[in-house]
Amino acid sequence: MARRVVYLLACALALLASTLTSAAIVEHSFHVQNLTIQRLCQKRVITAVNGSLPGPRIRVREGDTLVVHVYNLSPYNLTIHWHGIFQLLSGWADGPQYATQCPILPGHSYTYRFTITGQEGTLWWHAHVQWLRATVYGALIIRPRVGRSYPFPKPYREVPIVLGTKVL
C-alpha cells in the first residue's frame, strides 16, 4: 500500500515537473516605425514592425508565456491585438484600443504579457487601430508542448502564409 502511494506520488511529481519545464517565457521587442517601401516603381511610407512586411514571425509552444515590448516610434496611436488568443485571466493584453487599453501614444511603449493555454496552430497578431492593421501584422505560431505531437502526421515542410491587404 505504502509503495503504491510512493509510486503515485512519484508519478504526480514527474507530471508536475514535465508541465513546469515545458513552459517557457518567450520575450520579443517590436519597434513600430515608418518604413519606405517600393512597389511597382512607386515609393510609399508605411508603418511596419521592425522594418519588415509582414512583421516578425513569433513562435511559441502551448503553455508558454509570451512577453512583447511594443515601442511605438510611429507618428500614430497604436495597439496590438493577438488574434485568436483566448487571453485567460489576461484580458488587458487583448489589444483593442479603448476596449482593453488606451492606445500606445507615439514615443511611448507598452508590454503585452500573456500565457497561451489550451491552443495550438497558426494565428496572427495585428494592429487594432483602423487602417494601421493593413501593414502592422505578422504570424503567431503555437506549436504543441515539448513531447507532444501534432494531431496529424509530421509534415514534410511547414510554410506560414499570411494574407495581407494591398498597400498601393
Ligand X SMILES: *[C@@H]1O[C@H](CO)[C@@H](O)[C@H](O)[C@H]1NC(C)=O
Stretch of residues binding ligand X (CB under 6 A), selected from 9-17, 100-108, 116-124, 145-153: 100-108
Does residue 45 interact with ligand X by CB under 6 A?
Answer: yes
Q: Given the complex with ligand X, which of 34 and 119 has the nearer CB atom?
A: 34
Q: How many CA atoms lie within 13 A of 8 on its CB side?
A: 5
Q: Which residue blocks in the chain are alpha helix, DSSP H?
A: 2-22
Does residue 56 interact with ligand X by CB under 6 A?
Answer: yes
Does residue 160 interact with ligand X by CB under 6 A?
Answer: no
Distance between CA atoms of residues 78 and 70, nearest Å? 9
Q: Given the complex with ligand X, which of 45 and 146 has the nearer CB atom?
A: 45
Is the bond preceding residue 103 a cis peptide, omega within 30 degrees? Answer: no
Stretch of residues binding ligand X (CB under 6 A), selected from 13-21, 23-31, 86-94, 154-162: 23-31
Q: Given the complex with ligand X, which of 28 and 143 has the nearer CB atom?
A: 28
Does residue 75 interact with ligand X by CB under 6 A?
Answer: yes
Distance between CA atoms of residues 155 and 164, nearest Å? 25
Distance between CA atoms of residues 122 and 59, nearest Å? 9
Does residue 25 interact with ligand X by CB under 6 A?
Answer: no
- Residue 26 contacts residue 140 (beta carbons within 8 Å): no
Interface residues toward ligand X, by CB under 6 A? 28-29, 31, 34, 45, 50, 56, 75, 77, 102-103, 105
